[in-house]
């Protein structure tokens, strides 16, 4: 395994309770140092699980997807920082006010990075039109990414196909965290043969400029999660 790449893979603990999450963390052992805890697990298992992961030496991406009034966003970011989280997410669609509130609240927690979500990948151009946004999804992603860095966010969450364009737009200094990656034989996309990284794989995301990839079901539902994680770190 390429250690440098392995350090840049975040495994999503998408479970409905503590037991499943703990079983995966125990099984992965030293193979994984960075976990994403989302709203399902946080709500089901509570914040102690995050504290315990941090106490065991793991980094935690707390995927809160905040979209609230600035005062409440700041409070939630402070709570994430107090738990020892390394990353927290805020919706850029909520505007500059909440992103600035998140960034300012994170200042007390030097390890905590604030990442902005742009347009969630399940949204279509039609969905944007429904909420009064005339831009295409691609245009809106760029607009919101710019807004996020102007507000002081440390980086953005980007779908695999957005990662290259956003790396060009943002330059080398910002974090780009890419979920939605698939191992080559799981991908629905037909990529090139002959050793070229296929579109949507972890390797393609890293090549396009991802700082980290987030992987969920490819690892957390695998019969052999350690082997699956090794494949992710090797590019998928």
Binding stretches for ligand C5P (CB under 6 A): 12, 14, 38, 121, 159, 179-180, 214-218
Take residue 28 and report the two structure tokens written for it.
């992965």
Nearer residue to ligand C5P within complex by CB, 81 or 179: 179
User: What is the closest distance, in whole angstroms, from the C-beta atom of residue 28 to ligand C5P in the complex?
Assistant: 15
Question: Dihedral of the CA atoms 67, 71, 76, 80 (nearest 10)?
Answer: 120
How far apart CA 132 and CA 129 sit, in angstroms, is 5
CB 10, CB 35: distance < 8 Å: yes
**Least gap, CB of 40 to ligand C5P (angstroms):** 8
| For ligand C5P, the closer CB: 70 or 179 | 179
Q: Which residue is nearest to ligand C5P (CB)?
A: 216
Closest distance of CB 145 from ligand C5P, Å: 15
Specify whether the backbone of 80 is left (phi greater than 0), alpha (psi in -120 to 50) or beta.
alpha
Closer Cβ to ligand C5P, 104 or 216, answer by number = 216
The conformation of residue 61, written as its DSSP 8-state character, comes to E
Min CB(173)–ligand C5P separation in Å: 23
Of 91 and 100, the one with the shorter C-beta distance to ligand C5P is: 91
Integer CA distances (angstroms), 162 to 98, 140, 228, in order? 23, 11, 24
**How much helix, strand and coil, in percent to the nearest 5, is found in the chain?**
45, 15, 35
CB of 72 to ligand C5P, least distance (A): 21
Residue of 18, 65, 167, 230 with catalytic role: 65
- Is 113 tagged catalytic? no
Cβ proximity of 21 and 49 under 8 Å? yes
Name the CA dihedral angle for 65, 51, 35, 20, rounded to a multiple of 10 degrees. -100
Closest residue by Cα to residue 214 from 232, 191, 199: 232
Q: Which is nearer to ligand C5P, 100 or 201 (CB)?
A: 201
* Residues assigned a catalytic role: 65
């Amino acid at each position: 395994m390429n250690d440098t790449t392995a350090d840049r893979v975040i495994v999503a603990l998408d479970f409905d309770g503590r037991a499943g999450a703990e079983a995966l963390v125990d099984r992965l052992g030293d193979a994984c140092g960075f976990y994403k805890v989302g709203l399902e697990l946080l709500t089901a298992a509570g914040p102690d699980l995050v504290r315990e992961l941090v106490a065991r030496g793991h980094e935690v991406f707390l995927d809160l997807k905040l979209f609230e009034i600035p005062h409440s966003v700041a409070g939630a970011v402070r709570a994430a920082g107090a738990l020892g989280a390394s990353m927290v997410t805020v919706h850029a669609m909520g505007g500059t006010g909440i992103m600035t509130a998140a960034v300012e609240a994170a200042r007390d927690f030097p390890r905590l990075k604030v990442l902005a979500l742009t347009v969630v990948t399940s949204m279509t151009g039609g969905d944007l039109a429904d909420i009064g946004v005339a831009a295409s999804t691609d245009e809106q992603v760029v607009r919101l990414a710019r807004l996020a860095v102007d507000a002081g966010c440390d980086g953005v969450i980007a779908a695999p196909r957005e990662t290259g364009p956003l790396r060009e737009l943002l330059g080398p200094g910002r974090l780009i965290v890419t979920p939605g990656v698939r191992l080559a034989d799981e991908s629905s996309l037909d990529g090139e043969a002959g050793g070229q990284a296929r579109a949507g794989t972890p390797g393609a995301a890293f090549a396009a400029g991802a700082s980290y990839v987030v992987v969920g079901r490819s690892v957390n539902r695998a019969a052999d999660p350690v082997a699956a994680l090794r494949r992710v770190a090797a590019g998928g």
